[in-house]
Amino acid sequence: MRRRIRLLVAALVAVIGISMTVGPTFAQQYNSTLSFFNYRPGACRTYNGTSIHIQLTTYVSNGNAGDTGTYSISVYRCSGGQLSTLVGGAGSCNYGGFCGYGWAINLGGSQYAFYFQKTSGDFHDIVTSDSVQMWST
């Protein structure tokens, strides 16, 4: 009976060990800040998986807190450390408040960047975020 229990425990440990080494590749996650007048290309970063996501809370940081407007977020594939091909269409966000988007893209371990551009409002406003979260799944 003891031998059966030992064999069962050994088999269970082996299965757990194998499942840990063969499990899915963990997705990347990045945190950053953002500040822009008109447009801002983000940094090229490596992502794996089948979707890319972003979420941030923005505010107008140059004393025009009551100003309203919108900006768009797009996703570009990078080549040679530069934005090259648009792969995720623009999502629209308001100057102030939370915004989050996700795009279904077969990322394949390539580099991608987010691109931010104002689409309406006062173009003298500085749109800022103290916490931009980007990740892939």
CA distances from 134 to 19, 45, 125 (A): 28, 10, 24
Count helices and strands in the chain by DSSP H and E runs:
1, 9
For position 129, what pLDDT does the model report?
Answer: 97
Question: Closest Cα to residue 135, out of 73, 48, 64, 57?
Answer: 48
Q: What's the alpha-carbon Rg for the chain, to the nearest Å?
A: 21
Which domains does the chain show, CATH number per domain? 24-136 (2.60.120)
For position 115, what pLDDT does the model report?
Answer: 98
The reported pTM is: 0.80
Successive 10-residue mean pLDDT values, the chain, 137 residues: 47 39 61 96 97 97 83 98 96 95 96 97 92 97
For position 2, what pLDDT does the model report?
Answer: 52
Burial of 47 (0-12, 13-18, 19+ CB in 10 A): buried
Name the helix (H) or strand (E) containing 2.
helix 2-22
Q: What is the pLDDT of residues 64-82, one digit of tens each?
A: 767 889 999 999 999 999 9
Decide if 124 contacts 68 (C-beta within 8 A).
Answer: no
